[in-house]
Chain A
Amino acid sequence: MARSTICADTGNLASVAFVGADAAAQDFLDALKIKRIEFPEESLERIECSHLGTTVHRSYIPSDLTDPPQMSIVANFDTFDVPPDVGMDLGTMTITFPQRPGETTPATLSGTVYLGAKTMPTIANGEIMEINLRIDFDGVTGPTFTAST
C-alpha cells in the first residue's frame, strides 16, 4: 500500500482500548474520554568503551536494556466509575492512531500495562475536571508499534 498523501496529522480520532484488565477497572477504562496521551523519552544508558588509543571523543556503546515507557493520559473525569487503584493490572492496552486518507489500517501501539500512578482532578469553578493517569508498560509484552498500511 502506498504512503498516505497526508504527511502530517493531529491526534483527533485516535482511540485507546484495554483488554483483560482487572475487573474492578474495566468499566472505568471502557468509559474513559481521553483528551491527551503523552509518551516519555525512551533512552538507553551508554557504556564508555574508550581506551588509550581513543582520540578526540570518548567512545560508547549502548547498554542492553531500556526501561519500558511510562505514558501520561489526561481524561475528562466521570464520577460514575471508580478509578482503578495504583498498581492495578490494566491488561493489554492498544493505542490506535488516527487512520489517514488512503490507508487501509491505522497504526497501533500495544503492550501489557498497569496503573503506575494517578492524580485525581482539580476541582475549581469554571474548570473541566480532568484525571491524570500514568500507564506503565510492564515490559512483559511490548510495547510494539505496528505501522499503518
Chain B
Amino acid sequence: MLIEDLRDYLLARPAVSALVGDRIVPDALPQGSPLPGCDIEIVNTRHEHYIRGLAGMAISDVVIDCYGVTRASAHETAKSIMFSGVTTLRGVVGGTTISGIRLNGGPSDAVEEVDPGTDDRRFVSTIFLEVHWAEQCD
C-alpha cells in the first residue's frame, strides 16, 4: 500500500532515520512516543479517467506531520523528509508503482498542548505531497 511503501522508503534514508528512528507511522503517533516522530496519511485520492473508465493513474494527497519537542526539531525532521529525494522518486517502490511525487507545500507549523494549562507543548511541522501512482486500469 502506498502509505506503507512511502514510510519504508523514508525510513531507509539515513538522514531521516537518524532523527526519527522507526517512528513514521500511518495515521497517528502512539501516545507517549519519543520525539521527533511523524505520522503519515492520505487525505484525498483522485482517479484519472478516460471515456471507457479508469485510466490507471491515481493522484493522492499525502500529509506528513512531523512532531518535535522544539520548533527547530520539528522543522529539521520535516526538511529531512522534504530533501530526502522523495520528489525524484519514480518506479516500483515496495508494492506501489510511482509515476512522480510533488512537494505541494510545507513546512506548515502548528503547536499542540500536551498538558493543558501548562507550557508543555509539542511542535508540528506538516508537509504536503502529491503522489501520482499506478492503479488497476479498466
Contact = CB atoms under 8 A, between A and B. Distances in A.
A125 B102 contact: yes
Interface in A72-97: 75-76
Given A34-B50, A75-B50, A126 B102 contact: yes
Interface stretch (B25-33, B51-59, B116-124): B51-59
A34 B102 contact: no
A34 B50 CA distance: 6
Contacts of A75: 50
B76 interface: no
A113 B80 CA distance: 55
A33 B50 CA distance: 6
A35 B130 CA distance: 22
Interface of A: 11-15, 33-37, 75-76, 125-126, 128
Contacts of B49: 12, 35
**Closest CB pairs A-B (n = 4):** A33-B50, A126-B102, A35-B50, A14-B51
- Most interface-central of A12, A34, A126 (chain B CB within 10 A): A126
Interface of B: 48-53, 55, 57, 100, 102, 130, 132
Contact of B51 (A15, A125, A126, A128): A15
B57 to A, nearest CB: 7
A126 B130 contact: yes
Contact of A13 (B51, B102, B130): B51
A51 B50 CA distance: 54
B53 A13 contact: yes
Contacts of A35: 49-51, 55
Nearest to A36: B51
A13 B52 CA distance: 4
Contacts of B50: 33-35, 75-76
Contacts of B130: 126
B51 A11 contact: yes
Contacts of A11: 51
Given A35-B49, A35-B50, A75-B50, A126 B100 contact: yes
Contacts of A34: 50-52
Nearest to B130: A126
Nearest to B50: A33
A11 B130 CA distance: 28
A148 to B, nearest CB: 17
Contacts of B48: 76, 128
